[in-house]
Structure 1
Amino acid sequence: MSKVTSQFQADGVLARTLTGFRARPSQTTMAEAVERALAQKSQLVVEAETGTGKTFAYLVPVLLSGGKAIVSTGTKALQEQLFHRDLPALRDALAPRKMVALLKGRANYLCLHRMNQAVAHSGELSKEQQSQLVEVRKWAQRTDDGDVGALNILQEDAAILPQVTSTVDNCLGRDCPDYDACYLVKARKKAMDADLVVVNHHLFFADMALKDVGFGELVPQADAVIFDEAHQLPDIASQYFGEAVSSRQLQELAHELKVLYLTELKDLRQLDKAADKLLGSLKDWRLVFPNDPMRGNWRDFSKQPAVQLAANVVAEHLEFLREVCKSALGRHQDLDNAYERCVQFLHKWQQLQDVSRTGFSFWFETTVRQVTLHQTPLSVADKFGGYLQRSDMAWVFTSATLAVGEDFSHFTEQLGIEQAESLCLPSPFNFNEQALLCLPRYLPQPHERDMPSALLEVVCEVLEHNETGGTFVLFTSHRMLQMIAKLLVNRTDRPLLVQGSTSKRDLLEQFIAAGNGILLGTSSFWEGVDVRGDALRCVIIDKLPFASPDDPLLQARVEDCRLRGIDPFAQVQLPQAVIALKQGAGRLIRDADDRGVLIVCDQRLVTKPYGGIFLTSLPAMRRTRSLDVALEFLDSLERTQEPTE
């Protein structure tokens, strides 16, 4: 028996030191596979369904190994949960001498230089930003790590945060007067010295992209990399191997130079003039796009004469700003930095106007005030796969949803993973007893006009029979969510929580506290949400989560498949939707004692040939076409909650 295997036995260290630990065969199997991968510096892909205990299954072998490891998670929230909740107890039990570190992206750390600049130029800030800056300065006196996530008094999107944190564009690096006190530098140094570093996927790929073009390293060299929530990797990797320029970046550059003119370079009138010209052209640039926020195909949209003209004017004014900065090089560090940014932005801007290149998706997204242009590679398999082959490291990819059936090829081919051992571990939960899957009869097709009212009636019937339990309603579009939210508000007096009304964390806290709440959510609530017990007894999904056909990256991948003679539906659209549905269904049963009903309101699961692929990928719940049977199951759960005499 290996050292790792022994930890998971009923009389092992984990059972003796961790409250509530129960040995699970699938968890031990995964831990042994991770142990082999670490020893052989090989590749491992593991689908570990809910309840397997995958976090401990990779952390135990990592802590017992002699090398240095990076653990990368899907989001900052999961990163903090892993570092603050799961890791401390395990480390204390198994490897108390191991040094661990949490490393986030630079935007998560207070920048002392930019905070001091904001204080010096506070007259340029709005009243709201000025009051927020006061809070930031108070907090700055007592923080040890500068992590702005601990600034609880401010909202996550507080207007002051961009003014007191840095970006790759405006960071002065070693030239910064506050370099020695920099919180980001300290966090990176701690990560360099640690045996185990917890990062998130965005930070990992930002670092990998920088290494690819020959810059420094954010994430230290390691002997092993473990990706949790690995199903997110293909899309995140595509973002970081692409290019993007936003009007917000250009506006921030112009505003910074205006402040520099007003405070440090008052004789350089041309700088103020050039910045104003760029700001004016960026306002005109936004006006050539539709008013409502959207995503679109830039290759098609850019053909319009008005769009081409507006893009050329932005380029012309950016060139003018670059030349003004160039004429004053050496007079101020911030100006020298701005000149470099002008050069980089202009190069990217011109690159993004050339949409004739193949192998990329060219797309844009807009908000009320901003426009961002993107160039995204259709495949990262060559780059990422080549990186794996060249590295002398172990690579572990795990998630509750990686396979379609038991086939991992959709995931591995996207990332160029060619030599991995693969493992599909079922959940230890008894889904046949704990859960019921309902596909209600007689519902309209998803696209039909009567569908919203039919969905509303399903929700209302569920609420009548799930009085003491909570209900999730998961949507594939914001439009349907808002429509049902408006209709539902007059049909129930239960706590109704709607995505977008406050932060995701607040919504979940309110939902759990309510006990019998109703939460309406879209994509961000389909995964990474863990609600146990009666607080979540029913999950309703409005329709199969196929990506929007208008999504420009999907359009480009579909077109690429057609050019290669491959069926885009089978190769791209279907596998993505299957994995997304598995994620949504995974919200229901989170514990061995959970009970509940999953209702999927999409007739295509029964009427289309591909419906079987979805169904075989879901946990082995009992199934019914009768909504009445599902409601009776909820009634039985209600009865178990009634107090006995």
Structure 2
Amino acid sequence: MPLPYPALHASHTGIWIARDGETRAVSRGEAIRAAADTPMILMNAPLIGQRLGYADLSGLDLLELYAFLRPARFMVPTPKGLATVTGLDLPADDAAIAPFLLAAAEGLLATPEGDWPEREGAWTAAQSLFRLRWAWGPVLADRLKKPAQNERWLFSKLPEWDEAAPRPAPRTVSIDPAETQAQLAHLVGDAAEARPGQRAYAAAAADAFAPRAGREMPNLVLAEAGTGIGKTLGYLAPASLWSHAAGGPVWVSTYTKALQRQLGHETRRVYPDEAVRREKVVTRKGRENYLCLLNLEDALQGGFAGRAAVLAQLVARWAAYTADGDMVGGDLPGWLPTLFRRNGSTALTDRRGECVYAGCPHYRKCFIERAARASAEADIVIANHALVMVNAARGRELSTRPTRYVFDEGHHLFDAADSMFATALTGQETIELRRWIVGPEAGSRGRRRGLAARLSDVASYDEGGAQAIADAVKAAQGLAADGWLQRVAEGAPFGPIETLLANVRGLTYARAEGAEDAGYGLETELAEPSPELIEAAAPAAEALDSLYRPLVALGKRLEAVLIDGPDWLDGAARARVEGAIASIGWRAETVAAWLSLIARVGGPASADFVDWLAVDRVEGREFDIGLHRHWLDPTQPFAEIVLKPAHGALVTSATLTAGGTWETAEARVGAPHLARPAVRFQAESPFDYAARAEVLVVTDVKRGDIPALSNAYGRLIEAAGGGTLGLFTAIRRLRGVHARIADRLARAGLPLMAQHVDPIDTGTLVDIFRDDPHASLLGTDALRDGVDVPGHSLRLVVMEGVPWPKPTVLHAARRLAGGGSAYDDRIVRARMAQAFGRLIRSADDRGVFVLLSAATPSRLLDAFPAGVPIARVPLDEAIARVASRLSSRAALGHEAAPAT
């Protein structure tokens, strides 16, 4: 029986409704009225609603249906992706998409009739979704049969992890150079092309796995290897050999999720057997990336309402089939949370540090704990720079701290360390600490619990611990509370911290350049503070000190409880107390850092730090206020906390020295802070850039002229036939250009997507871009470094201008210390090299890099690979060259896809 619902599709070229075998074009107003009156089948409701100008659009979203029927499976959320998973023909044009959606819905709903691996739990989940009035609920209720016996559902189905004895320390071994080359040959395969650069790279990488000569003297290898060398297998060869021989883990750290996924794929060459690979290779991320089962249980039992409750049910379906529980970059479709706008996805992870560890009823099934234990036994742990630094600085897993690291995308270590070791005394940070200590206050909802509730058994056993908890709760009342931002803006702060923030706000507005501009954040140096700010600092410091002391005392009391070992302290309780000690220690360190920062108000400046005041705003709306401190050189704490305790580390990148010299590269990764000098290695890319690419600097497009910029982007994308990555340094200009050219390109069959415009996560935007050779993508810095699209789908990169660094207080201080304008030039060269690196990803790629900046200094053009032709040309000539070089390539693509 056919579905009794019409289908709606809206693109930049028009709007169509399909009903009863008929498809007709409709106006925006008619589509909105029809969608308000009748449930519609559609795909990606937020995106269609944005195109209609109807933000409240809802209906029977095929993406939600797919997430229910095929949890933990990937699909590109486009008509092409839907055609792939349903086996239907791709619609010929936009007008054919609406009836195609009807056919796709029937195809998906036929899933329960066949061999359906995800059948278990579906009927139970469908009943819950039906009660929540999910649009697909009535349809599924008619098509799902009640199982003959009760289903094992989520919390009973998930496997438990097992405790294991601590892993012995790695043995001291040396890797034979011949074995490294033999392992590399095995990994690349017999049919692979011989690459001398890769063999030399593997030999250099092996030095990081040699026994170290002395304490705090790690073997540090800096290896720059151009695109195409084969870095991943080059370092996996010695890493896998060392791990096997030494019996210890190698942590491979990346900066982007894309490289993490690529590494997971490449490790299949090392461990072809899937069961073995799951034991030997583990991907680790921060706690905030994983589904918290306790939060999910709370959501399923009424903690969420409305659309957020529907999301919780779909996430529960996914949780029963996920490989690792990773909600960010794992097998949860990145597009799923965006379908629910702001409703609930972040509340399903542990973003507030409220984990009760062994006190949680789902502790033995926890995805986070399972990953931590799996990584302790793994040979290769795929992590990210932030997690490596967090674990080294405040990790609970001291006995399993790795001794060997590989830092891929090593040019990002400076930025990762800058973020990790910074201090921010802001309203948002203090209110989060208050909530963690005090727990639920008037009007709050959810399962949040304060210190007293989390440690009630400790408080009843230990009188000193109980007093410390009470003192901490009392002192936390002096932190910012709900409504603080409005009170501060109205000049009526409550308490010493809010009073401090009010004076920070006043001084920032008084001194910051462009304070009258309704744009983005404001900041000013923490120098020559006003008498009012100095006066407010003393009571704020007293309030923080009164909080710091009981936190430290509580940590010591908990350690004493562990030593006493009372009868109630079984294994689970011990683990919970140990977790509490780590969490309290982290908060105490944070408060100590705040005290140090407040001492700077009216006190002497430190040569090691850069301090400033800031009011954070988005489009004129304030969302945070505070004092900030960053290390002038954040690689100093990175070297102390991460590198010095290690035995060896490989830092590698295709652009390690981009923009500077080896001395600059060493300074950016902390090498000067080590007693033993780093080993340097460099291998040029094997690609023929001179024949495969060219750089065009357009001389007649005025910077900041949105109409001219839009015209240039539109004509260049048309000349390339799509396949364009457009990079911007300002979101405002990105949005302005997109608004002017999206419709025009869509009519030519060239879909255009954009960060900060389309209600789709960045990872999914890249997936769509990769999947369609006629699509183009506009974005900012995240796309300059995080896009790996080899082949025909990316053949033109266009930058709106020279990516000069933003003139912040922090940048000004580092610029002064780093050589003035030469420091700026190094940053720009590195950014341009990274952007160019998106273009040629394989030996067969061909492309053009266009820079829309007549004022580009010639001294910066050495950022591009040697031999690449560089020409300064007017826009018309640039368009002709793009068309000439890429038109033959465009002919290799498919016929124009629907401009969705």
TM over 0.5: yes
CA distance in 2, matches of 1:342, 1:121: 31
Deviation at 1:170, TM superposition (A): 2.4
Question: Counterpart of 1:457?
Answer: 711
Q: Go from structure 1 to structure 2 and tell me whether the alpha carbon gap of 1:293 and 1:132 turns closer, same or farther (over 3 Å shift).
A: farther
- Deviation track 1:371-397 (CA, whole Å, cap 9, x = no partner) reads 464321111343334457743512111
Deviation at 1:203, TM superposition (A): 0.1
1:592-631 paired onto structure 2 within 5 Å: 592-605=843-856, 608=857, 611-615=858-862, 617-627=864-874, 630-631=878-879
- Deviation track 1:380-427 (CA, whole Å, cap 9, x = no partner) reads 343334457743512111111111467222221133314112122111
Which structure would you say has the larger RCO, counting Cα contacts within 8 Å and 6 or more residues apart? 1
Which among 231, 234, 258 is matched to residue 414 of structure 2? 234
Q: Go from structure 1 to structure 2 and tell me whether the alpha carbon gap of 1:247 and 1:128 turns closer, same or farther (over 3 Å shift).
A: farther
Q: What SS does the aligned partner of 2:887 have? A: helix
Matched, 1:81 2:262: yes
- Range moving further from structure 2, 410-419 or 249-258: 249-258
Which among 489, 494, 497 is matched to residue 742 of structure 2? 489
- Range moving further from structure 2, 453-462 or 227-236: 453-462
Check conservation: 1:255, 1:275, Cα contact below 8 A. Answer: no
Question: Counterpart of 1:22?
Answer: 193
Q: Go from structure 1 to structure 2 and tell me whether the alpha carbon gap of 1:56 and 1:219 turns closer, same or farther (over 3 Å shift).
A: farther
Q: What SS does the aligned partner of 1:492 have? A: helix
Q: What SS does the aligned partner of 2:841 have? A: coil
1:105-120 paired onto structure 2 within 5 Å: 105-116=286-297
Which among 48, 58, 68 is matched to residue 225 of structure 2? 48
The Cα RMSD (Å) is 4.2
Structure 1 unaligned spans of 5+: none
Question: Counterpart of 2:523?
Answer: 296
Q: Look up the equivalent residue of 1:56 and give its one-letter code.
A: L
Q: Look up the equivalent residue of 1:73 and give its one-letter code.
A: T
Q: What SS does the aligned partner of 2:843 have? A: coil
Deviation at 1:38, TM superposition (A): 1.7
Which among 145, 154, 157 is matched to residue 324 of structure 2? 145
Which among 563, 568, 577 is matched to residue 820 of structure 2? 568
Q: Go from structure 1 to structure 2 and tell me whether the alpha carbon gap of 1:118 and 1:295 turns closer, same or farther (over 3 Å shift).
A: farther
Check conservation: 2:409, 2:653, Cα contact below 8 A. Answer: yes
Question: Counterpart of 2:616?
Answer: 366
Which among 186, 204, 216 is matched to residue 33 of structure 1? 204
Check conservation: 2:754, 2:777, Cα contact below 8 A. Answer: yes
CA distance in 2, matches of 1:166, 1:643: 47
Question: Counterpart of 1:154?
Answer: 337
Question: Counterpart of 1:58?
Answer: 235
Q: Go from structure 1 to structure 2 and tell me whether the alpha carbon gap of 1:93 and 1:160 turns closer, same or farther (over 3 Å shift).
A: closer
Check conservation: 1:378, 1:557, Cα contact below 8 A. Answer: yes
1:521-536 paired onto structure 2 within 5 Å: 521-536=779-794
Check conservation: 2:659, 2:829, Cα contact below 8 A. Answer: no
Deviation at 1:230, TM superposition (A): 0.5
Which among 794, 800, 811 is matched to residue 542 of structure 1? 800
Q: What SS does the aligned partner of 1:635 have? A: helix
Deviation at 1:567, TM superposition (A): 2.5
CA distance in 2, matches of 1:115, 1:315: 38
CA distance in 2, matches of 1:531, 1:339: 44
Q: Go from structure 1 to structure 2 and tell me whether the alpha carbon gap of 1:366 and 1:132 turns closer, same or farther (over 3 Å shift).
A: farther
Percent identity reads: 26
1:34-433 paired onto structure 2 within 5 Å: 34-39=205-210, 41=212, 42-65=219-242, 66-67=245-246, 68=248, 69-83=250-264, 85-92=265-272, 99-116=280-297, 122=303, 127-143=306-322, 145-149=324-328, 150-152=331-333, 153-155=336-338, 159-167=343-351, 169-174=353-358, 176=360, 178-210=362-394, 216-217=396-397, 220-252=400-432, 257=438, 259=440, 278-285=481-488, 292-294=519-521, 296-297=523-524, 299=526, 303=529, 347-355=592-600, 356-358=604-606, 359-363=608-612, 364=614, 366-367=616-617, 368-371=622-625, 373-386=627-640, 390-391=644-645, 393-404=647-658, 407-418=661-672, 419-433=677-691
CA distance in 1, matches of 2:646, 2:439: 48
CA distance in 2, matches of 1:635, 1:527: 26
Q: What SS does the aligned partner of 2:483 have? A: helix
Deviation at 1:557, TM superposition (A): 1.5
Check conservation: 1:542, 1:602, Cα contact below 8 A. Answer: yes
Q: Look up the equivalent residue of 2:773 and give its one-letter code.
A: G
Question: Counterpart of 2:887?
Answer: 638
- Deviation track 1:125-151 (CA, whole Å, cap 9, x = no partner) reads 564444433444454455563333444
Deviation at 1:612, TM superposition (A): 2.5
Check conservation: 2:742, 2:751, Cα contact below 8 A. Answer: no
Q: Go from structure 1 to structure 2 and tell me whether the alpha carbon gap of 1:597 and 1:343 turns closer, same or farther (over 3 Å shift).
A: closer
What TM-score results when the alignment is normalised by the length of structure 1?
A: 0.81
Question: Counterpart of 1:477?
Answer: 730
Check conservation: 1:129, 1:160, Cα contact below 8 A. Answer: yes
Q: Look up the equivalent residue of 1:239 and give its one-letter code.
A: S
Q: What SS does the aligned partner of 1:353 have? A: helix
Matched, 1:513 2:771: yes
Q: Look up the equivalent residue of 2:610 and give its one-letter code.
A: S
- Range moving further from structure 2, 522-531 or 635-644: 635-644
Q: What SS does the aligned partner of 1:222 have? A: coil
CA distance in 1, matches of 2:343, 2:866: 44
Matched, 1:5 2:181: yes
Check conservation: 2:410, 2:669, Cα contact below 8 A. Answer: no
Q: Go from structure 1 to structure 2 and tell me whether the alpha carbon gap of 1:293 and 1:354 turns closer, same or farther (over 3 Å shift).
A: farther
Q: Look up the equivalent residue of 2:237 and give its one-letter code.
A: V
Check conservation: 1:543, 1:601, Cα contact below 8 A. Answer: yes
Deviation at 1:241, TM superposition (A): 2.1
Q: Look up the equivalent residue of 1:580 and give its one-letter code.
A: R
Q: Look up the equivalent residue of 1:196 and give its one-letter code.
A: I
Q: What SS does the aligned partner of 1:27 have? A: helix
Question: Counterpart of 2:692?
Answer: 434
Q: Look up the equivalent residue of 1:376 and give its one-letter code.
A: H
What TM-score results when the alignment is normalised by the length of structure 2?
A: 0.60
- Deviation track 1:228-266 (CA, whole Å, cap 9, x = no partner) reads 001110121122222234433444455564637889999
CA distance in 2, matches of 1:126, 1:161: 13
Q: Go from structure 1 to structure 2 and tell me whether the alpha carbon gap of 1:279 and 1:340 turns closer, same or farther (over 3 Å shift).
A: farther
- Range moving further from structure 2, 526-535 or 385-394: 385-394
CA distance in 1, matches of 2:871, 2:360: 64
Q: Between Structure 1 and Structure 2, how many residues are aligned? A: 611
Q: What SS does the aligned partner of 1:92 have? A: coil
Q: Go from structure 1 to structure 2 and tell me whether the alpha carbon gap of 1:303 and 1:435 turns closer, same or farther (over 3 Å shift).
A: same
Check conservation: 1:246, 1:370, Cα contact below 8 A. Answer: yes
CA distance in 1, matches of 2:732, 2:716: 22
Bigger radius of gyration:
2
Structure 2 unaligned spans of 5+: 1-176, 213-218, 454-469, 491-501, 510-517, 559-575, 894-900
Q: Go from structure 1 to structure 2 and tell me whether the alpha carbon gap of 1:495 and 1:59 turns closer, same or farther (over 3 Å shift).
A: same
CA distance in 1, matches of 2:548, 2:299: 24
Check conservation: 1:281, 1:317, Cα contact below 8 A. Answer: no
Deviation at 1:465, TM superposition (A): 2.0
CA distance in 2, matches of 1:196, 1:410: 30
Q: What SS does the aligned partner of 2:397 have? A: coil
CA distance in 1, matches of 2:732, 2:321: 44
Check conservation: 2:221, 2:651, Cα contact below 8 A. Answer: yes
Q: Look up the equivalent residue of 2:813 and give its one-letter code.
A: A
Check conservation: 2:485, 2:623, Cα contact below 8 A. Answer: no
